Chains A and B, each alone.
Chain A
Amino acid sequence: MKNIKYFTILSILIFSHGIYAQNSISGSVLDENNQPIPGVNVIEKGTSNGISSDFDGNFTIQVEIGSSLIFSSVGFISQEVLVSQQDDIIIKLSSNIVGLDEVIVTTGYGSQKKSSISGSVVTLSGENIISRGVQNLTHALAGSIAGVSTEQPIGLIGQDDSKIYIRGKGTLGNTDALIVIDGIPDRGSFSRLNADDIESISVLKDASAAIYGARAANGVVLITTKRGKFNRETKFSLNTSYTVNSPTVRTKALDSWKWAQYEKSQIDNLSLGWATVFNDEQIALLKNGSRPDEYANTDWFEETVAKSKPSSNLSLTVEGGSENISYFVSGQYSKQEQLFNGDFPFEQYQFRSNIDIKLTDKLTMGFDVLNRRDDGLYTKSDLYNGVDYGRDSYWDKLQGGAAGFTQGWPWLVGRLSNGQLGKGAQPAGGSNPIGILLNGSNRLINDALNTKLSFTYKISEDLKLTAYGAFDKSNRSQKKFTAVFDEYLYDNSTAQFLKSPDGNKPVLSQKKQNNSNNLLNIKLDYKKSFGNHNVDAFVAYEQSKTRMDFIIAERGGFGGNAIPEIFAGTAITAQTDGRSFASGRQNAFGRINYDFKGTYLATLSLRRDGSQNFPTDNRFGLFPAISGGWVISNESFIDNTGSINFLKLRASWGKMGNDNILPFQYLSAYEFTDYNDFAYGVQVGYDFGNGEEPGFFESTVANPNVTWETATTQNIAIEGLLFNNTISFELDYFTSEREGILIKRAASFPEFTGIMLPDENLGIVQNKGFELQLGYKNNITNNMSFSVNGNISKAENKVVYLDEPASIQDYQKYEGRSIDSFYGYQSNGLYRTEAQITEDGYTLTENVAPYKVVWDQWFNQGSIRLVDNDGNGNINGDDRSRSDKSLIPTTFYGINLGISYKNFELSTLIQGQAGGYYMDSSYAVNTEIFDDAWSPTNTDGAYPIPTPMYNVGGFTYQSDYYLTKSDYTRIKNVSLNYKLDGNILKALNVDNANVFVRGNNVAILKSPNSNIDPEGISGAFLIKSWQFGINLNF
């Protein structure tokens, strides 16, 4: 007690505060679940004497014995209590609306009841995440929240984080949403957290994000982890599950003879007499499969990608609390296997401990620790250099990367009949994908230690001071050993298996990276009611500093695969690199929530942000936001016990920033040369004849004016509950304008200046759209309930200004079109007749049999008919146009069906997208293209005549011919839960047990291409999983 005296005095000095003591009545307000309700208005009937309950639901009020107190709060039925004695009174309020009362929404630096919020904030509960049964939490957002779309890149565990877009793309710059975990940004992705630790995930979609100022423009995702509660008995929860994972689609490559035939047709169609790779005899051998050791038909997907792989998860949580200590502690171990043939375990361990201790009546301390590690073996991919690409060249080979001929190369031999590895594509050994999977290793370990120490000091009933510091460290270490192995060729003439030349040597690369992030936040909360006027406000100061450094070492020339340690390589091949990045931020901000009778709502927030990315003069920016709401159903003219149970109108406006750019662009920076110069040639310093000497180049010219990209966002919405709370709806309409988007003035600034352009605040993009969430929930019988929740959102963006020179043709203009609108040649079907070619003004050269060719352009029958947009009589780069077709879908939807019967609960999520296009890889020849290519005998063919990809001027005309709608619908999730709570369990001291089956990415209902997963942006497969598990609560 004594300990806090100075603290109090100091606080009193700072915040002058009066204390009255007279006929004091105290008590607490609880909800139906005995949870304290903060902010309940406690008013002496017939007077203006009133206060509101504090954060723990406690209140103290000065009234006469015999008077009446009225307890009221939004979402609860008001209660009148006669004050009969001076003892502590406990008031229980019951909720007046179903569905809204339970939801406390985290709004960033605070929380509010969903019913009284005036911004666009959506929360997903922890249970919701758990029931999805995903192994990467970012996957749980898909289809769940209106206005949040995700893009999952690949089914490579550990590299499979979904990209999260809030309200689509609103900028040409960085589109990453800010991720905040327990109040701390820069803690990395939440993908690998234990689902059992998650209390909720909130998404701030509109100006409510402005409280995060300079980093809020792309929206904010808030993750809150669970905490224990005081005076609660200890509860254990044990979760264990076993999951079977398999690829969502198995890519089927073209048969090798068809490949060979197609390749041959490409050359033959040039009619230049060039030799082809395969002649007819060889194609026949590929087709009849009589000599498989030389003429194979290898399905590389089948050879390398596993049919299925298991994963398992074990998680234990303990929560509870005594009078002064509350705790939530958890531990998790999980093991997954990458979906490759071979041994690629990915293990994850984590402990969390969130502890709260009441040091005194007024001072509470919290100490949170998370320690986690993931430790995975990957294929020999490009994880190594700085960026994690998450895919490797071998993967490209399987998936048909940029150039078609790399798609699998089915004629190469995977395994010879004697069991040895066939020869890969390189002249030297060591490139057979099967061998790559079996040899060498690529191990990546991520460690994270997150700690947070917080103090909350209750200065008075209305005033609370909170301070917390976070100290996070994370380390990443990677060790990649590219081993060599033997490959063999079969020589038919001697009937012998010959070892192919071994020119490669093993290479070992190691990278160590350290990150640290310190954050300090001090916040003063004030909460008070003045009669019907309720105020909930805070001011805060926050600063943070992050630092990252890495060091890379590599050696080659290993004598063999025996010792994969750096020392065993040769020093002459050694390469090293290392550097650091440090940044600081400094912010002050505050927010006032005000409501009158819980009916008229208003929120005002203001943030002053300082970012290191900008010069001293432009370093600090102001980001205001305002929002208001009107709970119409509280008005007397609405009978809220009838068909309209709840109805709220709300609107918001705010300014936010995006500072996610390369830092220090206000300085002229010199970097060591390591870039691709004109045409080709990686320049690494200069060689004067004694080996290379280092070289600098001016990587950016200073832009002394560089500053924030700002977003101005408006949102208007209506939400409500109808017909006995069975139907809920929420409709948002928003517009957002980004100004000062940091782009390079490349479109108008001439290159003869020699300037390497810095980012400048130039671009303007508009984004607008709507979100609709509709729900129906009803108890059909006492034992059975049914619910449907659907959401649909649409966001359309338009580039308003991009510094395009005036002389650019209208059809080429980016301005006025969508950010991801396709730029390329416009097609008008195929040339099916010679007449069409001459119609377009081209002269056919007669002497190139069997097809007539337009020499300069290399058009012939069966070629894509390109539109001569500039009308100059030939096709050149000036004919490219910007299409209205966008590569990013505009519409996303999800439908969640739930049904529960007695102890069974079944739910399913159907999810999809529409309005976007993707480039159906025109180079990757599939069966469809092979079978239906134009030829003199198939003049109605849907695909162009096979010609080499370098048919025109060395380059393919990338036309919109191959743009395909990327619409899809899939069953994203199915979950069946059975709850056991019988006497046997009681006898075992188990409260209840759940047995569950959860399926993820279960089925694709509609897809543009059955050979790829429609959601995998790179055309890679994703993971389909079926999880079986038990959850025990005791």
Chain B
Amino acid sequence: MKKNSLLLTLMILIVSCTADLFESEPLDKYAETSVWTTDSLSDTFINEIYNGLPHAFSAMFSPDANTVDWYDHHNNCAGQAVTKGYLDPSNSAGWGVTYNKGGSFVTGNQSGLWGYMYKKIRAVNTVLENLKSEDQAFQDSRTGEVLTLRAIFYSRLALAFGEVINVGDVRLNLDSDYLSMKQSPFLETMAYINSELDKAILLLPESQPEKGRITKYAAMAQKAEMLLIAASPRFNAGSYNMTLLQEAKLVNEAIVNSGKFSLLPDFADASRSMNGNTELILGRFITAKRKIDRDNFIDHNLSPGGAGGFTTYTPTQNLVDQFEVIDGNNSFIPATWSNNVRTVTSNPAYSEDDMYSNRDPRFYASIFYQGAERNADYIIDVSEGGNDSRSCTGCQWWNNGFFGYYVAKFVTTKLNGNWPSPEINDSVTILHRLGALYLNHAEILFQLGDQAGALQMVNAIRARAGMVLYTSIDMDKIKHETVVELIGEGKRFNNLRRWGDIGDYNSNGEWGIKYINNGDGTYTSELIQISAPSWNDKYYWIPIPQPEMDKNPNLVQAPGY
């Protein structure tokens, strides 16, 4: 009797206790409402935005791979997607990166440069809308950081697509009137970037407790570089915009005069040293403490397959030829290129059979070549059948390059390259460093008429590198210095483009070197042409992805596509 009534009561109780049937928040992620109430969770959101900064073996190299100096091996020869004409609106994902031609646009979630940068921009707008800390220093610093980040994201967009949409501070939602939005001209976007950086500079502290965080000087360095680009001839009907240069000069001087930064004594340290790197203004770190993750591991990405690497990008003969040969108190460029013809400088100090002797010390710090010592027990062998060649056996030949050269800069020498590696080394991707700033500054001073100042800047760089100093300066010398000093720092394509030099330069074809083992300890070498890109002015920009064009009829495609 009682049992039955008990049973029934129990049932009724269970049924009436339905309030907790439905969870109000997920248990495997955070609901937005719970994030912005504490500084530490807000900060977690801001941390992620930093991932939009370019990193060494993707975003830094991939525009440069559209010059004949670099080859993008990781994308299976598609690296020069732009300049080989592979890139069109139907597959445009970013510099040197195409959507798989077999892929699908219709249902796929695109995340090319265009989409990725705008996601990050939205994240900044989310912070601006929601961050309300009681700690004013925290509030100011983080606001300044995200403003700087957003400016960098816009610069990545504008320098890729030319005319881009400026969404302002609005955090768009599903009901937003996105169809009414229009693109801004390139220089307008650059001006917006500079005004945003000005806001950031006022908010940011001079130094941060963490070395990878954006400081006032990082924002200033970004601004100076943006001003120089905006002032460059290609974007100003062939001549420099002196007003912008003047402004850039002042910003650079403020950074230099702050006394916070100084050139490291050793060139190689500037790209490898993590701690005490007094030259670094803004870098992206990948430290040993990090979870081992092959895709963020510089050594692994840039090393040849023979050493267990990926060979993401390789230098070409065209680049190698630009490293000067030192001849006593003089130096000279060993070979020059013009219209696909290579002219070797006749000089007793240089021989084609002994190509790698007496070169600019930065050559040895930047490039692995046939016979180079990678580390104590690893000698680079690109000859046929060699470990680092396409024809090695019992090795990952498909991860070896075609050109006979590999990147040495950034790669920490103690690593044997095997993957998975028992160890991971600290490494850094350079976004802004004093050495690069000197060369930009040299250009600015030269254009503003201060030749002595320009010479001083370039010589400071050459002196540190161990090179013969110049006694006079010209634009060619400044340009040349940027090539060998700034390898892998993401400047090459941009520089050639803003100077308007890219078309001529890329008409030289893309060359590599092939070694044949004679079996008696000697090798025979032969230059080989790997590809013959031709230049078209549409390559100045990459096309906006076609699906994006389809969605918004107001969008105007980059010229030529």
Binding site for B on A (CB under 8 A): 2-7, 10, 172, 272-279, 282, 363, 405, 423, 425-428, 455, 467, 469, 489, 501, 503-505, 520, 522, 541, 543, 545, 549, 557, 573, 575, 579-586, 610, 612, 619, 663-664, 667-673, 676-699, 701-703, 743-756, 758, 760, 802, 804-805, 807-808, 812, 814, 823-825, 855-856, 876-878, 880, 950, 952-958
Contacts and interface: CB of A to CB of B under 8 A. Distances in A.
A513 B201 CA distance: 50
B521 interface: no
A752 B500 CA distance: 29
Contacts of A952: 86, 101
B546 A877 contact: yes
Given A671-B29, A957-B101, A958-B101, 7 more contacts: A4-B4, A427-B396, A670-B30, A680-B295, A681-B58, A689-B285, A751-B118
Given A670-B29, A677-B116, A503 B308 contact: yes
A750 B119 contact: no
Interface stretch (B107-115, B191-199, B333-341): B107-115
B45 interface: yes
A423 B396 CA distance: 12
Contacts of A754: 118-123, 125, 167, 172
Given A275-B384, A682-B295, A691 B289 contact: yes
A696 B94 contact: no
Contacts of B284: 687
Contacts of A812: 106
Contacts of B167: 752-754
Contacts of B27: 549, 579-582
Contacts of A690: 210, 287, 289
Interface stretch (B13-21, B241-249, B255-263, B435-443): B13-21
Interface string B398-416: 1000100000000000001
A954 B85 contact: no
B302 interface: no
A856 B48 contact: no
17 contacts: A4-B4, A10-B5, A405-B398, A489-B394, A543-B14, A678-B94, A679-B113, A687-B289, A702-B32, A750-B552, A751-B114, A754-B121, A755-B173, A755-B174, A878-B88, A953-B84, A954-B98
Contacts of A957: 101-102
Nearest to B418: A503
B291 A692 contact: yes
B285 A687 contact: yes
A752 B84 contact: no
Given A505-B422, A543-B18, A955-B101, A688 B213 contact: yes
B507 interface: no
Contacts of B514: 273, 275
B81 A427 contact: no
Q: Ordered nearest first, which 8 A-B pairs have the shortest CB separation? A: A954-B78, A877-B90, A754-B122, A691-B289, A958-B102, A695-B48, A584-B21, A953-B86
Contacts of A2: 1
A748 B551 contact: yes
Contacts of B394: 423, 489
Nearest to A405: B398
B296 A682 contact: yes
Contacts of A692: 289-291
Contact of A954 (B26, B77, B90, B389): B77
B359 interface: no
Contacts of A363: 4
Contacts of A405: 398
Interface string B437-473: 0000000000000000000000000000000000000
A678 B546 contact: no
B476 interface: no
A687 B528 CA distance: 41
B286 A669 contact: no
B114 A664 contact: no
A584 B88 contact: no
Contact of A668 (B31, B77, B107, B392): B31
B23 A583 contact: yes
A770 B545 CA distance: 42
A680 B74 contact: yes
Contacts of A573: 292
Contact residues of B: prevailing secondary structure: loop
B137 interface: no
Given A6-B5, A668-B32, A427 B118 contact: no
B68 interface: no
A637 B131 CA distance: 81
Interface in B24-62: 25-33, 35, 41, 44-45, 47-48, 50-51, 55, 58-59, 62
A954 B47 contact: no
A4 B2 CA distance: 9
Interface residues of B, number: 139
A696 B48 contact: yes
B515 to A, nearest CB: 10
A231 B398 CA distance: 75
A804 B100 contact: no
A315 to B, nearest CB: 35
A756 B174 CA distance: 10
Most buried by A among B18, B20, B101, B107: B101
B88 A877 contact: yes
B178 A750 contact: yes
A696 B295 contact: no
Given A579-B28, A581-B27, A681-B295, A755 B122 contact: yes
B113 to A, nearest CB: 6
B172 A753 contact: yes
Nearest to B119: A754
B455 to A, nearest CB: 35
B539 interface: no
Contact of B86 (A7, A426, A954): A954
B525 to A, nearest CB: 13
A585 B23 CA distance: 10
A670 B7 contact: no
Contacts of A7: 4-5, 8
B211 interface: yes
Contact of B44 (A10, A469, A696, A755): A696
A689 B553 contact: no
B291 A752 contact: no
A469 B15 CA distance: 12
A751 B548 contact: yes
Contacts of A756: 119
B236 interface: no
Contacts of B530: 272
A5 B33 CA distance: 53
Contacts of A583: 23
B274 interface: yes
Contact of B58 (A277, A668, A679, A701): A679
Interface in B355-403: 384, 389-398, 402
B212 A687 contact: yes
A282 B397 CA distance: 15
A745 B77 CA distance: 33
B420 interface: yes
A894 B174 CA distance: 48
Contacts of A557: 422
A752 B100 contact: no
Contact of B26 (A425, A541, A664, A823): A664
A1009 B416 CA distance: 45
Contacts of A522: 11, 15
Interface string B227-268: 000000000000000000000000000000000000000000
A575 B528 CA distance: 47
Nearest to B211: A689
B361 to A, nearest CB: 28
A256 B18 CA distance: 66
Nearest to A670: B30
A520 B395 contact: no
Given A580-B28, A877-B99, A679 B94 contact: yes
